[in-house]
Structure 1
């Protein structure tokens, strides 16, 4: 009898867990079901990750849960500040393990790395060298292009947005025939996070002009929030921010003037399906918070 009761309780618990997992993804599930034939891939985007604390581990679990549920994740893009507080001191720095390899050990995807201001404090060349040692850490150059079917990601270095990089970005954006052109960087062009509001950085105006002329979306970190800041002023480009992949969240200026914000840890998932591209924010447990869909 005791064994039977234990088996029944175990079954009830298992069913409860399954119900919780499926219910918390209900809206995402509905979208995927309605676009089964058209779905290509999902891409995870998150910045300000490398703290090595429980926030980072919990977000990693949320990403794992999402990708296990959708079964269509193609890659993860790390939007800078990959290792806090001062980057790494050398190629054998233990932080590569404690703040990257271990937290994401259960996510079998390539992780495309971008530089952030905290990464620049340490050995930046070590990031490029570590690409040769890790099976998932990917950073082929300081700035680079990742092409997929219907969508192209332009990973830039906002800590050193020099003339070489500006010319490269203009050429790549103008010559690429991809349906969706998405530029990724660490520092935002537009945000309402209190500590980054109206922050200026070297090259921001030049980047804004390039984005407005050639790109569809700009996604960054740096602001420690999740945010759809809306369209950049006098521009068609929309700014998304995913800056709480492990960092301590901050607040936005109130009253809020953007489209959406979340002052806690989480990540952004981008899904391409037919004519549509969908941006969906999730909290660290994988709960869907907000989504925006565009069509072309």
Structure 2
């Protein structure tokens, strides 16, 4: 059983050479995205629309189906029994290691439904690079694979992913779940006018996001991505992912976030790096706060690069975060789950006010 993500050696020449050489295979992602229709509301756990307060479970990189994931969800259930969650955020890499083969893949049961038994509320899911694998696990090169997760929206009471990118309005907060995979894939879609950085898909997503953020009247605007803009962990920050050259390094994602998210949302919540980080005053984000919660099943067992100012960092323990969102304040708590003790420990808490 592998509990840890690749160590910093994965940034080396071998992986870099493989990914650069495999980029030509990006044509496999050359077809357009398909969008599954919304399931009937009666078959699903209802969204708490119009709420004046929401309690949110924040997880990322969870979908292994192994013991560490179960330890994290057991700790989350303890909190849920005392103070029920209204929704959860799944920040991508939902099905390790290479994504589902279709909407009826048994991995949805073993890596999502069973581990989350008892956490019976809507899970707002984002697509990660492992969910879009083509050749090398996590290469992000077969974007159409992610459509199986969109289709699974119609089969699950918990799993909420009506499209590859979407928004959910809950009264006190609006959530904007983005798909940055075309801009951050290790096998970029060079030959596809649909998926290229300036192609149809990203152009539509940008126009949608600009309008949605501009017209949102919610007290809090929260953008969710798999890949972080800022990151002190081994995957690196957008524009420097895994020490790879452009365009494999996520430089197009960096530009997208700076143009369409920075200064327009209160929070940017991301996974990808198997760590927990609360970063502040990130240059380029114009006041938008970067939070990384990607330790729901794996840990990097590494150290911080100290590139960005962090109020809290953990690169060793599994864990998750919670948000208690009211009209005037958001309370964030980071929970650590150790391999040597049951339950979780509140390692950090802070309150943000408008």
Q: TM-score, normalised by structure 1?
A: 0.82
2:173 touches 2:220 (CA, 8 Å); kept in 1? yes
Distance 1:250 1:196, change over 3 A: farther
Paired residues of 2:91 and 2:125 also in contact (CA < 8 A)? yes
Greater share of strand residues, 1 or 2?
Answer: 1
Name the CA distance, whole Å, in 2 between partners of 1:125 and 1:218. Answer: 23
Matched, 1:93 2:105: yes
Query: Which structure has the bigger radius of gyration?
Result: 1
Asked whether the equivalents of residues 193 and 250 of structure 1 are also in contact (C-alpha less than 8 Å), the reply is no
What's the counterpart of residue 180 of structure 1?
Answer: 220
- Give 2:304's aligned residue: 253
Distance 1:190 1:205 in 2: 13
The alpha carbon displacement at 1:274 in A equals 4.0
Give the distance between the partners of 1:250 and 1:211, measured in 2 at CA.
30
Q: CA deviation at 1:117?
A: 0.2
The match for 1:227 is 277
Would you say the 8 A contact 1:249–1:265 is kept in 2? no
Query: Which residue is 1:158 aligned to?
Result: 180
Q: Is the 8 A contact 1:113 1:139 kept in 2?
A: yes
What is the distance in 2 between the residues matched to 1:130 and 1:104?
A: 16
Alignment RMSD (CA, Å): 1.8
Q: Across the two proteins, how many residue pairs are aligned to each other? A: 258
When residues 39 and 165 of structure 1 are mapped into structure 2, their CA distance, relative to the original with a 3 A threshold, is closer
- In the alignment, is residue 48 of structure 1 matched against residue 61 of structure 2? yes
Distance, in Å, in 1 between the alignment partners of 2:76 and 2:281 is 27
Q: Give the drift of 1:39.
A: 7.7
Gaps of 5+ in 2: 1-50, 135-144, 184-201, 242-248, 338-342
Alpha-carbon shift at residue 254 of structure 1 (Å): 5.0
| 1:136 lines up with 2:165 in the alignment | no
Instruction: Give the 3-state SS of the residue equivalent to 1:231 in structure 2.
Output: coil
Q: Distance in 2 between matches of 1:155 and 1:116?
A: 12
Give 2:325's aligned residue. Answer: 272
Measured in 1, the distance between the counterparts of 2:333 and 2:229 equals: 20
More helix by share: 1
